[in-house]
Chain A
Amino acid sequence: MTAARSASGRGAARRRALNARAIFAGPGLLFITLFMTIPVVLVLVYSFFQRGRFGGVVWEFTLENYARAFEPVYVNVFTESLLIAGTTTVLALLIGYPTAYAIARLPQKWRTIALVLVVLPFWTNFLIRTYAWIVLLNSEGLLNRALVDIGFISAPLGLLYTPGAVIVGLLYAYIPLVILPVYASVERLDRQLLEAASNLGASRARVFFDITLPLTLPGAMIGAIFVFVPSMGNFVVPELLGGGKTVMVGNLIRDQFLETRDWPFGAVLALFVIALLVLLFALQAYISRRINGRTARA
């Protein structure tokens, strides 16, 4: 009797726990299904059909959209995008990692202020912040004027409308996305490990490279993905700071939908970017698991 009752009590508890989980996870799942899963499936479906004259698709099966994506002109755009997004990511890590590390070592009061400063730019519209770079960099802009006026250069430099300007714009836009996850992982770092290492005679460099870096690497990789992926997809920065002379995958996709009205081809290009994103996250998860496994064993 007693055993049976307690068993049914356990069953009820389990059901309650399940109900609670469904209630908590439900809205999120619904959101993801509605606004991510279904659209991605739509994109996948569109990619196999033909272009409708006014946008949309004609329901005739074709693989031609995929074949087109491998034409040299589009391969070049992808390569150029990878180069620009890759350079941006490396620079973001080189600048963002030390910044995050330094912030995490500040006294509590200053830490909060520093973090607020990092996210402060997000309070201003992205487009306006990008336009601000035009004001800074153009041939009649603040920087060129200042350099000419102090006699450092005789004629304005062509800073704007170059791939370099695009990288600067992307770096500026996305660097907080490296700083925040790195900060979180540096802050979570177990100080006792570091102390133990120094007590055992490890140099500061050795402590950093053997303990701090591996433990914060997953955070840094998340940050890298956060910078890399939107950089690939960004079309505003190449248009404004690249003067339309640098074409990235984002521009290409935007144009397929809004100018050429070639949804199926745009869908193919979008799928390639999504595939890349999935690949990067898988890589990040794999490396993180290996690092965690190693620390757990140690």
Chain B
Amino acid sequence: MRRLTPRTGALLVSTAAAALVLSACGGGDSASELDPNADLSQQTLTISNWAGYYPEDLAEKFQGAVGTPMTISNHATNEEIMAKLTAGGDSGFDVAFVSGQFAQALNEAGLVEQINPEFIPNLANLYPEAQELSYDPGNKFSVPYAWGTTGICYRSDVVEEPTSWNAILEPSAENTGKVTALATDRWLMLPAQKALGFSANTTDEAELEQVKQKLIAAKPGLLAYDDTTFYSRLVSGEANMVVAWDGWCNYGTAENPDIKFAVPSEGSDLWADTMVILKSSKNKEAAHAFVNFILDPANHAWVAENILYKVPNKTAMEQVAGLAETFPNMGLTPAELLKGESLVDLGDAAPKYSEIVTEVTSS
């Protein structure tokens, strides 16, 4: 998943590798012993999050509250942080932000620490639904940070509310060349998969062939494949409808209230971005304290206000309920979100998806 805010606007985000902590891997799947009396001010914390996906003064606030100095590194994509975390040895990170299906993979690879709920009392603030997500039921090794879905972001003053993915894939004459699709493999495929009634995780050859044909047929009607500047195309009037992640559509709405968000009737995905604690971390008490700090309703609400993405924290969302007036998709309920299909890691089928995307975009 690739999300950058308009504030950073950077397409390529350079990431400072922060190798502050040197340690060997813990090994074993059991949770480490945590010291309840650890002096957190003596620990340091290095985290990696998507650029612009957290409040700018997060590090200062955390140090002020808990006493642990923190370094924040940025990544642009899940793949980028996965490459760092799986390169072997100690990545130097204590906490990493990755999407759910990637957290699942990291756990299978034995790289993440089991969450110790005793050190994170604020877990109780999560929606019950957010504690049973399919990639990690019971939040055993990951804690959700933000969640949402993919839909169509559109100019309500120019077009009717789109109800089907075909609004993008088979645009009407006046919308031809005025719609965009997302560029990243999974989300480029999603509209066609859903329009055809398939799973967003399908690996069935015949289904994928149909998806490919539909996407190839859709290409001439598209203005571009874009997952970085789509909302600004709506603002400028260059596009009427764009496939968008809910939170990112809000950046458009912030500039023009006529920009609205709709989830097509064929359904969509449910994604969750999570926090994981690395097994190689030498600062596990501070890492748990950080996760607990984020889940504090006041802090998580402050995160939601800053990034305009929904957070899976019931108390926090109640505090920022007013945001839904300006940004209606902030009001999507957990029940509505759960209608979406969770994306799982494709493993060996990933190159197949990539090949289809290449065939489509180079057709």
Contact = CB atoms under 8 A, between A and B. Distances in A.
B219 interface: yes
A101 interface: no
Interface stretch (B46-54, B78-86, B144-152, B266-274): B78-86
Interface residues of B, number: 37
B222 interface: yes
Interface in A243-258: 243-247, 252, 255-256, 258
Given A260-B350, A261-B350, A56 B225 contact: no
B225 A51 contact: no
B362 A244 contact: no
B204 interface: no
B203 interface: no
B238 interface: yes
B105 interface: yes
A138 interface: yes
A284 B348 CA distance: 43
A200 interface: no
Nearest to B347: A53
Nearest to A54: B86
A140 B155 CA distance: 15
B77 A258 contact: yes
Interface in A64-81: 73-74, 76-77, 80
A158 interface: yes
Contacts of B180: 243
B120 interface: no
Contacts of A138: 236, 238
B20 interface: no
A48 interface: no
B237 A140 contact: yes
Nearest to A73: B359
B24 interface: no
B86 A236 contact: no
A258 B183 CA distance: 13
A161 interface: yes
A256 to B, nearest CB: 8
A53 B226 CA distance: 26
A265 B361 CA distance: 18
B184 interface: yes
A139 interface: yes
B177 A158 contact: yes
B354 A243 contact: no
Interface string B140-172: 000000000000000000000000000000000
B238 A140 contact: yes
A53 B362 contact: no
Contacts of B185: 259-260
A127 interface: yes
B237 A244 contact: no
A55 interface: yes
A127 B86 contact: no
A262 B351 CA distance: 7
Interface string B69-91: 00000000101101100110000
A250 B254 CA distance: 35
Q: Which of B184, B224, B355 has the most CB of A within 10 A?
A: B224
B289 interface: no
Given A53-B105, A54-B83, A244 B224 contact: yes
20 contacts: A51-B351, A76-B362, A140-B237, A158-B177, A236-B12, A243-B224, A244-B361, A245-B219, A245-B361, A255-B354, A255-B357, A256-B354, A258-B77, A258-B80, A259-B79, A260-B185, A260-B350, A260-B354, A261-B83, A262-B350
Q: Top 7 nearest A-B pairs by Cβ distance?
A: A243-B224, A244-B225, A260-B354, A247-B362, A54-B86, A73-B359, A244-B183
